[in-house]
Amino acid sequence: MSSEWPLWEVFIRGQHGLNHRHVGSLHAPDAEMAIHNARDVYTRRNEGVSIWVVRSTDITASTPSEKGPLFDPANSKVYRHPTFFDVPDEVGHM
């Protein structure tokens, strides 16, 4: 059996009402220690107001090599962007 502590992914909410954001990872024996370690490793200069930790093995990621087919449905739908539509100058800001 490997005696290595499991790997955790760390997410931090910055000061300004932002989403939690991935900042890196670390090893810890359990979730509580992972939070403590994350505080020491990733918030030594007040970088956050809240921490999430998630076991790395619990993350399901999309496959980079399949990014073509995965994101393909959005490619042909440029009308989802407001700049697709011309607004006559006379109309002003919309």
Partner 1 sequence: MYAQMVKTDGTRVKSLDDMEPEERAFQQRIEAGQKIEPKEWMPEAYRKTLVRQISQHAHSEIVGQLPEGNWITRAPTLERKAILLAKVQDEAGHGLYLYCAAETLGISRDEMYEQLHSGKAKYSSIFNYPTLSWADIGAIGWLVDGAAIMNQVPLQRCSYGPYARAMVRICKEESFHQRQGFDILAKMVKGTPAQKAMVQDALDRWWWPSLMMFGPSDDASVHSAQSMAWKIKQNSNDELRQKFVDQTVPQADYLGLTVPDPELKWNETKGGYDFGEPDWKEFFEVIAGNGLCNAERLGARRKAWDDGAWFREGLLAHAAKAEARRTTAPAAAE
- Asked whether position 46 contacts partner 1 by CB under 8 A, the answer is no
Nearest distance from C-beta of residue 48 to partner 1, angstroms: 13
Burial profile 47-64: b = 16 or more Cβ within 10 angstroms, e = fewer = ebeebbbeeeeeeeeeee
* Comparison of 2 and 83: residue with beta carbon closer to partner 1: 2
Q: Is 63 helix (H, G, I), strand (E, B) or coil?
A: coil
x/- track of binding to partner 1 for residues 2-41 (CB under 8 A)? xxxx-x----------------xxxx-xx--x------xx
